[in-house]
Amino acid sequence: MTETSARTTQILALMMIISVFLCGNQIKEKDLPSKYRDWLKLVSYIIRPEEKNVFMQLSNDRERDVFIQTFWKQRDPTPGTQENEYREEHIKRFSYANEYYRRGSPREGWMTDMGRFHIVLGSPVSIERFDNQKGLYPAQVWYYYGEREKGLPTHFGIVFFKRSGAGEYRQYDSISDGPAALMIEGRNLDPFAYEQTYEKLYELAPTLALVSLSMIPGEIPFNYQPSLRNNIIIADILESAKKDINPVYATHFLNYRGIVSTDYLTNYIESDAEAALMADPIMGLNFLHFLIVPQKISVDYYEPKDQFFCNFTLNVNMSQGEKTIFQYSKEFPFYFSQDELDKIKASGLAIEDSFPVAEGKYKLTVLLMNSVGKEFTIYEKEMEIPEKSGEACLMGPFLGYRFQSYARDVHIPFKALESKLAMEPKKTFGATDSLAILFLVDNVNQELWETGKVEMQIHGLRESNPSEKNWAFLLKSAPFGKVLKMTHVLPARELSPDYYDIRLRLIGGDGDIIDSESNHFVLSAAQAVAHPTAYAKGIPLAHSYAYFYMLASQYWKTGQLEKAEDFYGRAFEMNPGYKKGLLEYANFLYESKKFSECLHLIEKVKNEKDLQFNYFLIKGRAHIGLEEYVQAIANLEEGNKIYNSDTTLLNSLGYCYHKTNQRAKALDALKASLRLNPQQEDIKRLIQEIEEKNSILILSHAVERMRHHRL
């Protein structure tokens, strides 16, 4: 092989690898069952590339069937009814094209030019035919009224003709074909003599001549040169059937088909969402606050109480790559009256929550499911929680439409001390609104508090006469603390409608800028803008030990073991009676190889009847860590009497038997574990090792007996 050909082979191999990486594990279209190949033909002009890419990665017919349901549901103009008018109309157009436009063509009707435009646009408003007109090749002009919201002209015509008078009708291209291609004597004309060619065609067919230059009837391009705009209009027409469809539903279908029940997958709902990092002034912890507002909510009616209701399940996942760092689930049942229902339908419902977050880079995924209507929506965000440097810094500004007062000893999303911000996820406000602004100053020392300030500027972005306002807030206007909360309320009528930047600068006593932050918002020309109704659950600060356990777990999973141990210790001191947290703390000590500390801690649940299994398991494993196998066996055997189907316990017990040369018992325990979970390769290897040692020992004993017999 030459160096050039070898290099070419390498390039081709690299291209194949890149192709696989970009497209995922796609099946080839020819390998699909026939009904799915037929479906791809049916939707070939309306399916977006992203949707097809997802469909070709689905691994079984059940997933494909559910995806097809979802595909049509995204296009249903009346989702509340059983009929899907869009699907029925599309199938009708496709069938018509296949029946009528395959005549005179070697291709199926849907593949012809006429078939394609009929499927995309439907039947023309009118057709002008030039099939038997002297001097012309057979031609037709289809006239349509276009949808302006899809970028189409109000009125336009599409020309089809039989090139050289034979074959099927082809779409006429004013640039590559030109008016001469429509005339039998056109080959004898100078193709660049635009005006002469146009006049010749005008003599034969005036209306055809008009649309031969421009698809807009009556529009004569400069110098009679065919309009370049025609190609743009054609491209817009062919893309029009794919507009108004957000393909993100398809990506979510692929990513969450193993997590979200198939009952929900057909009902993806768009949503608005917002997330904010805020330091809690009382606990001193960083919390990630978020809200998610589904753009559609299905409700049911509960007749005994004359109430409407919906039931949300919130699943939150914070990950680094494939590793889950933190996750939890909450139920949000919601009941409301007819008046509240009308308000929610008009403005939406915001599900809010918050949790403490450790430093690091994460992907946040919020999955919200409504059991009424089997609907789901997703919010995803890449985020970075910075290390605390000890330097003072700003958090915010956070924007909402009002403040609500709450007790200080309750933690609730988007609240600092006694002030809860009613968030506006779209950051859009009306003239009758108030603009509620919240910001925090973290890591404040005594000197900065006494001498520092925050400057705030709101600046309009329009070029002429933009609105601008400036304020200065002295830090000592707030009670001293490591975290300062500052608020401001501005009547929106004091600003003119515009796009705005809001900027903060933290200024030290010497005039130096310590930190700066910014945000943006829109002031609408409308008098009123609908804001979602917030729904959240408050937690008394008396239960704040749970937050310390959450952070400890995050530090553990991100490998920050010193911080994890510190937070586990603090959480335990806050509530030594929280047994679930104590067990997690004990497991952490075991995994950190602090076996003596683990043994000391686990003794605190010795007399808890419902925790006896955990007590014996953790204690037994801690003894293994100290190589105290006899004590380990005693505890693990007690645990196995309570529950004999735990693989961790069986594996630990088998290992202890192995270390104490009780090979038969070791094999019994390990094989029992393997029956529960056959995928344990390390246990298979240990069993093989024990069996080989047994064989060698048996053989050795046999040889020894033979030797004694001879003697």
**DSSP string over 12-62:** HHHHHHHHHHHH-SPPPGGGS-HHHHHHHHHTTTT--HHHHHHHTT--SHH
Output b/e per residue, 117-141; b: 16+ Cβ within 10 A: bbbbbeebeeebebeeeeebbbbbb
My answer on whether 219 and 315 are in the same domain is no
Give yes or no for a contact between 190 and 121, defined as CB atoms under 8 angstroms apart.
no
My answer on whether 564 and 516 are in the same domain is no
Q: Give the pLDDT confidence of 422-469 residue by residue, as tens digits.
A: 999 999 999 999 999 999 999 999 999 999 999 999 999 998 999 999
Q: What is residue 19's predicted lDDT score, i.e. its pLDDT?
A: 39
Alpha-carbon separation of residue 254 from 60, 163, 219, 369 (angstroms): 12, 45, 47, 17
User: What's the CA gap between 161 and 167, in Å, rounded?
Assistant: 10
My answer on whether 347 and 378 are in the same domain is yes
Q: Band the pLDDT of 202: cuts 50, 70, 90.
A: very high
pLDDT, mean of residues 644-673: 95
Domain end call among 540, 565, 589 = 540
Q: Band the pLDDT of 22: cuts 50, 70, 90.
A: very low
Residue 7 within any structural domain of the chain: no
Strands (E) across 360-509 are located at 360-370, 375-385, 393-405, 410-411, 415-416, 419-423, 428-429, 434-442, 453-460, 468-474, 484-491, 498-507
Q: Give the pLDDT confidence of 226-247 residue by residue, as tens digits.
A: 888 899 999 999 999 998 888 9
Query: Is it the case that residue 572 has pLDDT exceeding 90?
Result: yes
Alpha-carbon separation of residue 148 from 220, 233, 234, 327 (angstroms): 21, 12, 14, 46
pLDDT, mean of residues 563-580: 96
Measured in residues, the chain has a length of 711
Q: Residue 197 is part of which domain span?
A: 29-240
SS3 170: strand
Q: What is residue 697's predicted lDDT score, i.e. its pLDDT?
A: 63
Q: What is the mean pLDDT of the chain?
A: 91
pLDDT, mean of residues 597-619: 96
Those residues with Cβ within 8 angstroms of residue 344's Cβ, 6 or more apart along the chain or in another chain:
297, 336, 533
My answer on whether 193 and 220 are in the same domain is yes
Q: 279 — phi, psi (to 5°)?
A: -80, 135
Residue 395 within any structural domain of the chain: yes
Residue 261 within any structural domain of the chain: no
More confident residue, 708 or 517: 517
My answer on whether 513 and 635 are in the same domain is no
User: What's the CA gap between 698 and 214, in Å, rounded?
Assistant: 96
Q: What is residue 613's predicted lDDT score, i.e. its pLDDT?
A: 96
Residue 486 within any structural domain of the chain: yes
pLDDT, mean of residues 355-362: 96
Q: Band the pLDDT of 26: cuts 50, 70, 90.
A: confident
User: What's the CA gap between 336 and 309, in Å, rounded?
Assistant: 6
Report the CATH number at residue 624. Answer: 1.25.40.10
Q: What is residue 11's predicted lDDT score, i.e. its pLDDT?
A: 39
Report the CATH number at residue 360. Answer: 2.60.40.10
My answer on whether 523 and 646 are in the same domain is no
My answer on whether 603 and 653 are in the same domain is yes
My answer on whether 364 and 408 are in the same domain is yes
My answer on whether 152 and 203 are in the same domain is yes
Omega into 191 within 30° of 0, i.e. cis? no
Query: Is it the case that residue 290 has pLDDT exceeding 80?
Result: yes
Amino acid at 220: I
My answer on whether 501 and 617 are in the same domain is no
Number of domains making up the chain: 3
Domain end call among 540, 562, 585 = 540
User: What's the CA gap between 567 and 358, in Å, rounded?
Assistant: 11
Query: Is it the case that residue 5 has pLDDT exceeding 80?
Result: no
Query: Is it the case that residue 313 has pLDDT exceeding 70?
Result: yes
Residue 604 within any structural domain of the chain: yes
Output b/e per residue, 512-545; b: 16+ Cβ within 10 A: eebbebebebebbeeeebebbbbbbeeeebeebb
**Sheet (strand 434-442) strand order:** 415-416, 419-423, 393-405, 434-442, 484-491
Greatest Cα pair distance in the chain: 128
Q: Band the pLDDT of 559: cuts 50, 70, 90.
A: very high
Q: What is residue 701's predicted lDDT score, i.e. its pLDDT?
A: 57
Cα 397 to its chain centre, rounded Å, is 25
Which pTM was predicted?
0.81
Domain end call among 523, 540, 557 = 540
Amino acid at 305: K
Q: Give the pLDDT confidence of 87-98 residue by residue, as tens digits.
A: 999 999 999 999
Residue 480 within any structural domain of the chain: yes
Q: Band the pLDDT of 705: cuts 50, 70, 90.
A: low
Q: What is residue 151's predicted lDDT score, i.e. its pLDDT?
A: 84
- Closest residue by Cα to residue 491 from 530, 527, 520: 527
Residue 708 within any structural domain of the chain: no
Residue 670 within any structural domain of the chain: yes
Structural tokens at position 442: 């973290």
pLDDT, mean of residues 60-85: 90
Structural tokens at position 488: 């401001």
User: What's the CA gap between 166 and 174, in Å, rounded?
Assistant: 19
Amino acid at 572: F
My answer on whether 404 and 309 are in the same domain is yes
More confident residue, 488 or 265: 488
User: What's the CA gap between 610 and 147, in Å, rounded?
Assistant: 68
My answer on whether 572 and 679 are in the same domain is yes
Query: Is it the case that residue 20 has pLDDT exceeding 60?
Result: no
